[in-house]
C-alpha cells in the first residue's frame, strides 16, 4: 500500500507539472493561478501545496524536468571529445542545443514559457536567479573557449573575451527566441551553424571546410 501511495503521489506531481506547462504557455505565468493548475490536473489546491511551496517552486520544478538547450549544449560539447578544438566544442554544443529545440516539443514548450511567458516579479526572484545562473555559466564556458582558441591560433580578439562571449550567447539565444515566434520563418539548425561561423569570422577566426561539426561545405555569404 505504501508503494502504491508513493507512486500515486508521484503521478499527481507529474500531472500538476504537465498542467502548469500547458497553462503557463497558453496564459502566461502571472495570469495562471495555482487553483487553475489544480483544476487542469484534476487535483486539489491542497495537492499543489503538498508538492510545492509556491508558484515559483512549481515553476522551477517544471524547468528541472527538462534540460534546456543552452544548458544541454556544454554537456554535449564535453561528450564530443573535441578537447583540442574549443571552437568545435562550442559548435557541437550549439548544434545539439538547436536540434533539441527543433525536435523536442516539451523542451520547446518549457523554453517558450521561460523566455516569453514569465515576468520576473518579486515572488519569482528564484526563477530569475536560475535564469541568470544558467546564462552566466554558459557565457563563462564561451569565454574560456574563445580565449583558448585565440591563444592557440595566435589571434588578438577585436573585443575583450567576455564581450565576445556575451555576444555569442546573445546570438544563439536570440536565434532560438526568434525561431519560437515563427518556426516556419527559417530552418533553425543550419541557420545557427552559418551565423555562428560568420560571427567567428568577425572575431578573426578562420574555420576551413573540415572544421566544426558536420563537415559542411563552406557557403559564400553575401552581405
Average pLDDT score over residue span 113-122: 86
Q: What is the mean pLDDT of the chain?
A: 84
pLDDT tens, residue by residue, 16-34: 999 999 999 999 998 999 9
pLDDT at 1 over 90: no
What is the pTM assigned to this prediction?
0.77
Mean pLDDT of 169-179: 92
What's residue 170's pLDDT?
Answer: 94
Q: What is the CATH number of domain 69-203?
A: 1.10.357.10
Q: How confident is the model at residue 79 (pLDDT cuts 50, 70, 90)?
A: low
Tell me the mean pLDDT in the region 74-95. 70
pLDDT (0 to 100) of residue 182: 93
What CATH number is given for 2-64 in this structure? 1.10.10.60
Q: Are 175 and 195 in contact (CB under 8 A)?
A: yes
Instruction: List pLDDT tens digits, range 143-160.
Output: 999 999 999 999 999 999
Q: DSSP string covering 107-174, please?
A: HHHHHHHHHHS----GGGHHHHHHHHHHHHHHHHHHHHHHHHHHHHHT---SS-HHHHHHHHHHHHHH
The DSSP annotation for 195-218 comes to HHHHHHHHHT----TTSSSS-PPP
Domain boundaries, the chain: 2-64, 69-203
| Contacts made by residues 52-55, CB under 8 angstroms, sequence distance 24+ | 52/16, 54/123, 55/29, 55/123, 55/124
pLDDT of residue 84: 78
Q: What is the pLDDT of residue 214?
A: 41
Model confidence band, residue 52 (pLDDT cutoffs 50, 70, 90): very high
pLDDT value for 213: 39
Amino acid at each position: 500500500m505504501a508503494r502504491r501511495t508513493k507512486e500515486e503521489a508521484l503521478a499527481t506531481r507529474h500531472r500538476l507539472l504537465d498542467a502548469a506547462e500547458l497553462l503557463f504557455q497558453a496564459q502566461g505565468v502571472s495570469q495562471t493561478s495555482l487553483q487553475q493548475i489544480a483544476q487542469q490536473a484534476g487535483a486539489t489546491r491542497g495537492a499543489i501545496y503538498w508538492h510545492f511551496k509556491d508558484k515559483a517552486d512549481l515553476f522551477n520544478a517544471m524547468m528541472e524536468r527538462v534540460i534546456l538547450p543552452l544548458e544541454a549544449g556544454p554537456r554535449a560539447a564535453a561528450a564530443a571529445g573535441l578537447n583540442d578544438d574549443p571552437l568545435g566544442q562550442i559548435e557541437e554544443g550549439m548544434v545539439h542545443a538547436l536540434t533539441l529545440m527543433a525536435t523536442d516539443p516539451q523542451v520547446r514548450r518549457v523554453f517558450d514559457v521561460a523566455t516569453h511567458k514569465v515576468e520576473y516579479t518579486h515572488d519569482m526572484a528564484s526563477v530569475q536567479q536560475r535564469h541568470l545562473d544558467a546564462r552566466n555559466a554558459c557565457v563563462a564556458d564561451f569565454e574560456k573557449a574563445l580565449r583558448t582558441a585565440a591563444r592557440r591560433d595566435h589571434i588578438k580578439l577585436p573585443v575583450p573575451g567576455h564581450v565576445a562571449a556575451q555576444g555569442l550567447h546573445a546570438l544563439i539565444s536570440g536565434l532560438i527566441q526568434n525561431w519560437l515566434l515563427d518556426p516556419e520563418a527559417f530552418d533553425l539548425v543550419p541557420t545557427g551553424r552559418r551565423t555562428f561561423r560568420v560571427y567567428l569570422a568577425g572575431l578573426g577566426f578562420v574555420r576551413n571546410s573540415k572544421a566544426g561539426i558536420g563537415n559542411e561545405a563552406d557557403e559564400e555569404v553575401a552581405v
